[in-house]
């Protein structure tokens, strides 16, 4: 959008009456009248009607198109009358947008008096509360989190050990079992199965991913042979690359409004790479198939 003040400076020296003056004035007045009537209709309509959002979007789209036309006319002619009409239209558009937004949220709040979740979510959006995430954490903060959760795990383990009853003595003569087969190797996975698994997965991206998941799925015909080779190499050598074991840990507040410096108010969320999560699904398939073929699965299925 152009600066209306710049357009005014270009058109101050032009005093010749323009044939567009009356037309722009009538269009601007008609635009204000139509906007007021449409907002009154929206305010009297229930929020459950799906045509409200459609009508509001159509009205705002019409105003935006008229604004582009006035902007182009103001930049092309440089006349003061066109610049003033454009400035007046911008003010009208802001008022219409603000009124529509107020009506929309007012209807949500009035209709959500029995739905506390929707009500608190709407108020949180209006107040723009902090979500409690840390965009650039420091090394000291990461070490503090690490030590805090290690201490919590130690406390939980010690409490479980103290409260656990004494184990019953094991029988002396235990039956011996010699397995007749061993899981020494896994069958390779074909690219069709991997492609189907990737396309059916959620399109979530971790900060450690070299490519967005959307781009991976879009370029999957070219990338699938390389992914298949990596997966089969891991299955053949019973190993996983170290970068596939690394996770990005982020922390969010357990509840909005809690104090951020208190570590007990934070909840850690661990995110693996997309291909690492896909690999976990692939690596778990051969053992499950083996358990299903033999009467060993029990309640694991």
Q: Determine whether 287 is exposed, middle or buried from the number of CB atoms within 10 Å of its CB (0-12, 13-18, 19+).
A: middle
User: Which pLDDT tens digit goes with each residue over 239-248?
Assistant: 888 888 888 8
- 81 vs 135, residue with greater confidence: 81
Tell me the two tokens of residue 202.
Answer: 């959620």
DSSP 218-286: HTHHHHHHHHHHHHHHHHHHT---GGGS--EEEEEESSTT--SS-GGGEEEEEE--HHHHHHHHHHHHH
> Average pLDDT of 88-110?
83
Q: Please check whether residue 250 is in contact with residue 272, taking contact to mean a CB–CB distance below 8 angstroms.
A: no
Q: For 184, what's the count of Cα atoms within 13 Å in the CB-facing half-sphere?
A: 4
Report how far residue 56's alpha carbon sits from residue 63's, in angstroms, rounded to the nearest whole number: 11
Return the bridge partners of 250, or none. 269
CA dist 9 and 6 (Å) reads 5
**Percentage with pLDDT > 90 across the chain:** 2
pTM above threshold 0.75: no
Confidence category of residue 253, pLDDT binned at 50, 70, 90:
confident
> Would you mind telling me the total number of residues written for the chain in this entry?
301
**What's the rounded mean pLDDT across residues 96-112?**
80
Q: Residue 82 burial by CB count (10 A; 0-12/13-18/19+): exposed, middle or buried?
A: buried
- CA pair distance 2, 89, nearest whole angstrom: 13
> Is it the case that residue 28 has pLDDT exceeding 80?
no
pLDDT digits (tens, 9 = 90+) for 263-279: 888 888 888 888 888 88
- 128, two tokens: 């723009």
């Amino acid at each position: 959008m152009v600066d209306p003040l710049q357009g005014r400076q270009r058109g101050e020296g032009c005093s010749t009456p323009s044939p567009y003056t009356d037309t722009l004035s009538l269009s601007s007045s008609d635009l204000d009248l139509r906007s007021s009537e449409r907002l009154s209709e929206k305010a009297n309509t229930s929020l459950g009607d799906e045509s409200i959002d459609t009508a509001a979007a159509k009205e705002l789209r019409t105003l935006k198109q008229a604004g582009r036309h006035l902007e182009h006319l103001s930049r092309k002619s440089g006349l003061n009358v066109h610049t003033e009409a454009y400035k007046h239209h911008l003010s009208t558009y802001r008022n219409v947008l603000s009124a529509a937004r107020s009506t929309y949220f007012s209807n949500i709040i009035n209709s959500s008096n029995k739905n506390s979740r929707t009500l608190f979510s709407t108020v949180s959006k209006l107040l723009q509360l902090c979500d409690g995430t840390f965009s650039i954490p420091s090394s000291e903060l990461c070490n503090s989190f690490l030590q805090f959760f290690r201490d919590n795990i130690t406390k939980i383990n010690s409490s479980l050990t103290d409260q656990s009853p004494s184990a019953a003595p094991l029988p002396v003569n235990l039956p011996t079992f010699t397995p007749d087969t061993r899981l020494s190797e896994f069958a390779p996975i074909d690219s069709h199965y991997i492609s189907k698994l990737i396309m059916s997965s959620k399109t979530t991206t971790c900060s450690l991913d070299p490519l967005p998941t959307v781009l991976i799925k879009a370029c999957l015909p070219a990338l699938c042979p390389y992914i298949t080779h990596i997966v089969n190499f891991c299955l053949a050598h019973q190993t996983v690359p170290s970068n596939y074991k690394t996770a990005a840990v982020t922390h969010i507040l357990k509840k909005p409004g809690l104090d951020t410096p208190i570590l007990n108010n934070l909840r850690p969320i661990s995110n693996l790479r997309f291909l690492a999560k896909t690999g976990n699904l692939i690596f778990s398939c051969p053992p499950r198939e083996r358990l299903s073929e033999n009467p060993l699965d029990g309640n694991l299925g």
